[in-house]
């Protein structure tokens, strides 16, 4: 991380659009993660970090040139000077009209990680206004500044009332209701390094701040807290046994006693520094900062679901018997009740001597059904009353089209082309192969490298024709992979 001054005050279903399928089907590349990360197009050659998404705009800290004192460099280590910038959303990874935040917030000094109220009219941010290169060591004494928007303009920023002059306060994050602020500080009484604190706003003033305790804070540095609107806390720390550098962790504040801190999985975390995260209400997509590509330095990335979670999806129940009632109104009752009887032959090896008979077939297919008069004593056919072919179609369903036993190292092709659901319009198809690999699309290829037992999951999105709601469905298939047959 180049801008260290502000970082450490010292983040089943096929698409049934009727289109022609080319003879050469295009297969998507597999992935080994459910999460996909993408570098944003708004990044500059300088440091860009700590994104916040608000009202269809992305706000972030950046050391790119600005027309407000941006050429000033007052620190002995020549750290970058950062300001707050804003861009309008085109899509999840593209933004336009990148410009400095309007108003009095940006100055010739550094303005760093920040947080806004839900309505965007209150800002808390990290700053070091007034610190110059003559004040050796003072560059680590950061403060949290506060400003409000009045009549469309930001008021003059002031240091938050809870900041003590001898210690650093930085990286604020405001709760969704605006009544709780999370921040970092190196003030005494912590667990070492930078710790995360929370403070409540009650009776028009801030209460005494509270250290979040040993579940979250350690002898390492815990920095860049972000409290999501679902009350999950995210933060970064350089703890041992992580992916490397700063890693992003999460903790559910809805049940702080029973819950534990969890590290986010790759590829959000990497061997480099990952920090300054913002997530949506689901926690499945958002933005974060990382320096994982050395030539780019600190940049902002988007992360989102590559393969959705189908753990709570519905598993459709399909009938496995196909039952019909057979009768023949034109059949005449024979007067010879001592020697003849009616008999149904259902074409699947079963028969019935009831003129009105209910029969269940085990599977779809074409069955030649006949009603005969037969000799009671010999079972020989005396006369045929009626014969016809009964066609039982495959019912609409999801299924995984592959053998139950596969060979390791050999490519298998799976398709959802024939999948269907009654009363639903099928949309998107996702595959989990049970060996840590995933894919999407109607047609997929896969190779199991090791023998063993695996569970293939086909997950689908489908639109309910009655409610127009999109619903999730899944079906699983257990397979065995062998070295040889």
Whether omega before 267 lies within 30 degrees of 0, making that bond cis, reads yes
Report pLDDT digits (tens) over 22-42: 335 666 677 777 788 999 999
pLDDT at 116: 96
pLDDT at 366: 95
Q: In degrees rounded to 5, what are phi and psi of residue 5?
A: -60, -40
Quote the CA–CA distance of 126 and 112 in Å, as a whole number.
5
Strand partners, 351: 345
Quote the CA–CA distance of 65 and 70 in Å, as a whole number.
6
Strand partners, 300: 289
31: DSSP letter: B
Strand partners, 443: 415
Helix (H, G, I), strand (E, B) or coil at 73: coil
Report pLDDT digits (tens) over 228-248: 999 999 999 999 989 999 999
- Distances in whole angstroms, Cα of residue 384 to Cα of each of 28, 280, 330, 340: 57, 71, 12, 12
Q: How confident is the model at residue 20 (pLDDT cuts 50, 70, 90)?
A: very low
* First-last CA distance in the chain: 54
Segment 95-110 mean pLDDT: 92
Segment 452-466 mean pLDDT: 93
CA-based nearest residue to 27, from 457, 474, 446, 455: 446
| Mean pLDDT, the chain, integer | 86
């Amino acid at each position: 991380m180049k801008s260290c001054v502000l970082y450490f005050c010292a983040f089943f279903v096929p698409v049934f659009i009727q289109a022609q399928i080319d003879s050469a089907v295009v297969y998507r590349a597999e992935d080994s993660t459910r999460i996909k990360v993408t570098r944003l197009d708004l990044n500059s050659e300088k440091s860009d970090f700590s994104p916040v998404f608000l009202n269809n705009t992305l706000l972030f800290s950046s050391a790119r040139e600005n027309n407000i004192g941006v050429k000033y460099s007052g620190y002995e280590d020549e750290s970058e000077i950062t300001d707050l910038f804003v861009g309008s959303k085109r899509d999840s990874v593209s933004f336009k009209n990148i410009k400095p935040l309007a108003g009095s917030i940006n100055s010739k000094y550094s303005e760093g990680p920040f947080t806004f109220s839900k309505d965007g009219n209150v800002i808390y941010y990290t700053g070091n206004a007034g610190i110059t290169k003559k004040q050796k060591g003072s560059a680590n004494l950061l403060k949290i500044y506060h400003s409000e928007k009045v009549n469309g303009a930001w008021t003059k920023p002031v240091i938050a009332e809870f900041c003590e002059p001898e210690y650093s306060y930085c990286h604020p994050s405001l709760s969704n209701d605006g009544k709780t602020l999370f921040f970092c500080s190196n003030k005494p009484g912590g667990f070492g390094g930078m710790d995360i604190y929370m403070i409540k706003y009650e009776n028009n003033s801030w209460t005494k701040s509270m250290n979040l305790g040993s579940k979250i804070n350690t002898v390492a540095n815990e920095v860049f807290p972000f409290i999501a609107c679902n009350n999950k806390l995210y933060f970064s720390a350089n703890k041992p046994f992580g992916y490397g550098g700063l890693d992003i962790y999460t903790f559910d504040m809805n049940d702080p006693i029973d819950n534990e801190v969890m590290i986010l999985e790759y590829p959000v975390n990497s061997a480099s520094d990952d920090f300054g995260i913002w997530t949506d209400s689901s926690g499945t997509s958002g933005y974060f900062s990382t320096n994982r590509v050395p030539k780019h330095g600190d940049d902002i990335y988007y992360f989102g679901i590559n393969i959705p979670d189908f753990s709570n999806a519905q598993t459709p129940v399909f009938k496995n018997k196909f039952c019909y009632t057979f009768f023949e109104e034109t059949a005449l009752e024979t007067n010879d009740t001592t020697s003849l009887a009616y008999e149904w032959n259902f074409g699947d090896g079963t028969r019935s001597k009831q003129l009105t008979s209910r029969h269940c077939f085990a599977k779809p297919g074409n069955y030649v059904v006949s009603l005969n008069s037969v000799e009671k004593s010999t079972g020989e056919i005396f006369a045929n009353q009626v014969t016809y072919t009964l066609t039982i179609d495959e019912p609409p369903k999801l299924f995984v089209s592959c053998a139950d036993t596969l060979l390791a190292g050999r490519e298998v092709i799976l398709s959802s082309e024939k999948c269907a659901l009654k009363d639903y319009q099928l949309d998107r198809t996702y595959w989990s192969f049970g060996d840590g690999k995933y894919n999407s699309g109607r047609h997929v290829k896969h190779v199991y490298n090791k023998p063993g037992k695996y569970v293939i999951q086909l997950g689908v999105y489908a639109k309910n024709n009655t409610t127009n709601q999109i619903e999730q469905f899944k079906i699983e298939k257990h397979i065995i992979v062998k070295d040889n047959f």
